[in-house]
Amino acid sequence: MANLYLTEQNSILRKTGDRLIVQKQDEILLDVQCHKIDAVLIFGNVQFTTQAVHELFEHGIEMAILSRRGRLIGQITSPATKNITLRVQQFEKYTDNEFRLKLSVEIVTGKIVLFIEELTKVSIPYSSGLSFRGGQRLAYPFLMHIVSIPYSSGLSFREVLK
């Protein structure tokens, strides 16, 4: 199943039978069966019919309305949403502080590792003659040490940097 991203400005989401079509003027841009969609995300000036919304609700499909740049304006949710068990599990994880800490450490670790990988791709010389590549070689072992410290040690990244 997939999300349906509607970005074509001045297009219209319509219902026909058990299908949704995206139309702009007289041209059909997309024709898709409802059971293949998890959610519909509408960006900018895209219209939708009441019949299309009814069809989405009958299939438990949610809609999100966003600005053209992707800022969430609002959501339209069916009373019979899909994945209610998933939402319950997500809420349970939200209340689990140990899981939240572990997830946070994994996210920060991933960001540091990707940062190091990006440093290896660029080389901007400094007046001292040291480039990012050279700086990366010096910083890499230190950053890897920080990343390898287990979160259960009780140390924060700030304490490690002292």
Query: For 81-119, how does the pLDDT look when each residue is reduced to its tens digit (9 = 90+)?
Result: 666 777 788 889 889 988 988 888 888 888 887 877 776
Domain count, the chain: 2
Residue 58 sits in the same domain as residue 94: no
82: left (phi over 0), alpha (psi -120 to 50) or beta: beta
For residue 94, give its domain range: 86-161
Please tell me the predicted confidence (pLDDT) of residue 30.
92
User: pTM of the predicted model, to two decimals?
Assistant: 0.52
Where is the domain boundary, 54, 82, 110?
A: 82
Residue 8 sits in the same domain as residue 76: yes
Residue 91 sits in the same domain as residue 28: no
Q: What is the CATH number of the domain that holds 68?
A: 3.100.10.20
Which amino acid is located at 86 in the chain? L
Mapped onto helix, strand or coil, the DSSP state of residue 123 is coil
Q: How many residues does the chain have?
A: 162
